[in-house]
Amino acid sequence: MRTLTGVGSTPRSGVGAARWYRSDADLTLPDRPDPESVDVDAELGRYEAARDDVREALRDARDRTAERVGEEEAAVFEAHESFLDDPTIVEDVEAAIREGMPAEHAVADRFDEAVSQFEGMEGRMAERADDLRDVRDRLLRALLDAEGDGPTGAADLGALPEGTILLAERLTPSDTAALDPDAVAGIATVEGGRTSHAAIIARSLAIPAVVGVGADLESVADGETVLVDGEAGEVVVDPDEERREAVREAGPEAIRERVETSDGRAVEVAANIGGEAELGAAADRGADGVGLFRTEFLFVDREAPPTEDEQYEAVTAALSAFDDPEDRVVVRTLDVGGDKPVPYLDLPDEPNPFLGRRGIRLSLDEHADLFETQLRALLRAAATDGGDGLAVMFPLVTRVEEVERAVDAVESVADVLASEGVDHAVPELGAMVETPAAAFLADALAERLDFLSVGTNDLAQYVMAADRGNDAVAEYHDPLHPAVLRALDRTTAAAAGTDAWVGMCGEMAGDPALTELLVGLGFDELSMSAVTVPDVKARVREVDADDARSLAADALACETRSEVLDTLGLDDRAA
C-alpha cells in the first residue's frame, strides 16, 4: 500500500482499477508497406468504418456534454464532426488509399497537412489546429486500436468499464462532463486545484476526485488497484483491507429536517443551483432551500434575453421545489462579464474582464433595462404562494452607492407594478461579498440589506490577487489563507451587530472538514453543490458552537496557511 496526496475535491471515496487517460496518446504508425501489397478496398472500408465510429462517439459526446455541462462545451464536437466528414479531406484520403497507402497513413498525412495550415496562427485559427489534431487522433485510435486495449483516449471517456479509477495529467471540463458517474469510481489528476472547473464538475457529478497530486501520480500503472479518497485528498495504491472497507461511495443519507449544532444553534444548509434541472436533486438530498440560484442559464445560448414571464416561471419553479415556508430561494441577479460573453448583450472586450464591467456594474448602467425586467419577474414571483421564501442578491458589490441604487431600482419597479395593478411583493435583498471592498464595507452593506452571502471562490481570487482559472497560482486560491479567513471574519462580525443574516455560497461551504470553522466564524447559512448537503448537515450536528468559536478564534490568530492547517488538524492538506 502506498499513499499519494493531493487536493480532495469531492468528499466521497471509490476504489477500482487504474486507467490512464492520455489525450495525447502515442499513436505510432506501423511501417508503411509496399503499395502493391495494400488491399485498396479493405483500406477504404476501414477508413469508412473508422469514420462511422468516430462520428457516433462525437455525437454521443455532444449530447452528453450539452445535457450535463452546456451547449457551449458541446459545440466543439459539432465542429469536429464537420472536419471528420470534410469532403476535401475525405476525397484526398480516399485518393491516397487508392494509390496504395494504408488508411492510417493516408489519414495522418492529410490531417497533418491541414494542421500545418492552421498551426502557428493566432486565436481562433490556432484552435482549429487543436480541433484537427483531436479528430486525427480519434480516427487513428479507431484505426490502430480496433480492439480497444490501447491507451484510453478522449473517444473512450464516455464508455469506461465499471469500477474505473481514471488517472490523467489534467481533465478539461468537457472531458469530465463526458464521464459516466456510474462507471467511474474515482478521478485523480496530476494538475488542477479545488476550484478548477473540472473539479467542480466532478463534484456536481458526485464522482470522488483528488486533483493536483503532482508528478508522483505517474508512478501508478494501468490496472493497479487504486482507492481515491476525495475527503482526505488521498490516492491509495494497492489499499489494504481496512482502507477498502472504509470506502464511502454514496455518502451519508439525506437529512430532511433542518439541523442545529449539538448545543442548539441553527445552521441552514442549502444548495447552489445552476439550472432548473438541478432542483430535484437538491431537494432529494435534503437541502433547506437554495442559497444561490444562478440566473445566467436563462440568458445564455439564445439570441435574445429571456422575457419577464420566462424568468418568472423559472423562479416560481424553484420556489415550488422548496415549498416549505421556511425554505429560502436566494436568486442572484444576472452575473455576466467580459469572460462570459452573451452575444446579444454586446459586452465590452476587456483586457482583464475579472476587473472590468461585470455583475451589478452592468445591471445598474449598460443593462439597466435587463435588470428592470429581471426585478419585475422577481417581485411578481415574491407575491405568489411560497414567494415569502424568495430572496434576491446582487453580485460583485464594491460600493455602498451600488446597493443604494439597486434598492432604489427595486422600489421603483415595485411602484410601477403597483401602478399597473400587478400583484407583487418586495423580497429579502442582499449583497454578495466576493470582493475585498465588500468585506471591508460589510457593516455598511448589512445595515442597508437583509443579508450578505460570501462567494469564497471569487473572494479568494480577489483577496489573493490570483486568477482562479490559472493553475500556476492554484496554491493562492485556498480560502484557508489567513488573509481570506480574516476577510470572512470581518464580514460575519460586521453583520453580527445588525439584523442581517450571513451565508456562504462558495465551494468552501461544501467542505465538511471546514464546517466547524464556518459555524465558529458565525455563518447562519451554508450553500453548496447539492452532493455534499448531507455530509455538511451531518457534520453540523456534531459541532459544538462554543468549541467552534474558539477554533475560529485560534484560526484567525494564525499568520500563515500552514498554521491554519495545523490549528484545524488538516496538516496534510494540499493547496
Partner 1 sequence: MERTVTVEPEAGLHARPASKLVQTANRFDADVSIGRADDGDDGLVRADSMLSVSGLNVEHGESVRVVAEGPDAEAALDAVCDLLTSPVEESVDDDAEDAP
- Cβ proximity to partner 1: between 316 and 527 the closer is 527
- Min dist. Cβ of residue 224 to partner 1 (A): 30
Angle at which helices 456-463 and 482-496 pack, to 10 degrees?
Answer: 120
Question: Strand, coil or helix: what is 484?
Answer: helix
Give, in degrees to the nearest 5, the angle at Cα 289 between 288 and 294: 145
- Cβ proximity to partner 1: between 5 and 515 the closer is 515
Pairing of strands 13-21, 234-237: unpaired
- Cβ proximity to partner 1: between 342 and 536 the closer is 342
Catalytic (active-site) positions: 197, 505
- Min dist. Cβ of residue 35 to partner 1 (A): 26
> How far is residue 236's CA from residue 341's CA, in Å, rounded to a whole number?
41
- Min dist. Cβ of residue 464 to partner 1 (A): 16
| Beta-carbon-side half-sphere exposure of residue 345 (alpha carbons within 13 Å) | 31
- Min dist. Cβ of residue 129 to partner 1 (A): 10
Residues 6 or more apart whose Cβ sits within 8 Å of residue 552: 489, 517, 520, 521, 522
- Min dist. Cβ of residue 344 to partner 1 (A): 7
- Min dist. Cβ of residue 343 to partner 1 (A): 3
Which of 110, 145, 107 lies closest to 25 in space, CA to CA? Answer: 145
- Min dist. Cβ of residue 30 to partner 1 (A): 26
| DSSP labels, 316-353 | HHHHHHT-STT-EEEEEPP--BTTS--GGG-----SSG
Alpha-carbon torsion, ordered 150, 151, 154, 155, to 10 deg: 10
- Cβ proximity to partner 1: between 239 and 506 the closer is 506
Cβ contact 237:226 at 8 Å: yes
Q: How far is CA 239 from CA 1, 140, 166, 573, in A?
A: 5, 36, 16, 20
> How far is residue 22's CA from residue 181's CA, in Å, rounded to a whole number?
19
Which of 407, 387, 505 lies closest to 456 in space, CA to CA? Answer: 505
Residues 6 or more apart whose Cβ sits within 8 Å of residue 30: 102, 104, 144
- Cβ proximity to partner 1: between 460 and 568 the closer is 460
Task: Pull the grid cell for residue 298.
Answer: 436563462
- Min dist. Cβ of residue 252 to partner 1 (A): 22
- Cβ proximity to partner 1: between 114 and 531 the closer is 114
Identify the helix (H) or strand (E) that includes residue 150: none
Angle at which helices 545-556 and 482-496 pack, to 10 degrees?
Answer: 130
Phi, psi of 82 (to 5 degrees): -65, -35
- Min dist. Cβ of residue 395 to partner 1 (A): 8
Interaction site with partner 1 (CB under 8 A): 68-72, 75-76, 78-79, 81-83, 86-89, 114, 117-118, 121, 124-125, 127-128, 173, 195, 197, 200-201, 204, 272, 274-275, 292, 294, 296-297, 300-301, 303, 332, 340-344, 395, 432, 434, 455-458, 505-507
- Min dist. Cβ of residue 89 to partner 1 (A): 6
Q: How far is CA 206 from CA 13, 187, 251, 482, in A?
A: 10, 11, 10, 29
CA 357 to chain centre: 22
- Cβ proximity to partner 1: between 34 and 303 the closer is 303
Phi, psi of 306 (to 5 degrees): -65, 150
> How far is residue 179's CA from residue 367's CA, in Å, rounded to a whole number?
38
Task: Pull the grid cell for residue 304.
Answer: 435574445
Cβ contact 229:5 at 8 Å: no
- Cβ proximity to partner 1: between 359 and 427 the closer is 359
Which of 166, 34, 163, 10 lies closest to 100 in space, CA to CA? Answer: 34
- Cβ proximity to partner 1: between 202 and 495 the closer is 202
- Cβ proximity to partner 1: between 455 and 522 the closer is 455
| DSSP labels, 246-274 | T--SS-SPP--S-EE-TTS-EEEEEEEES
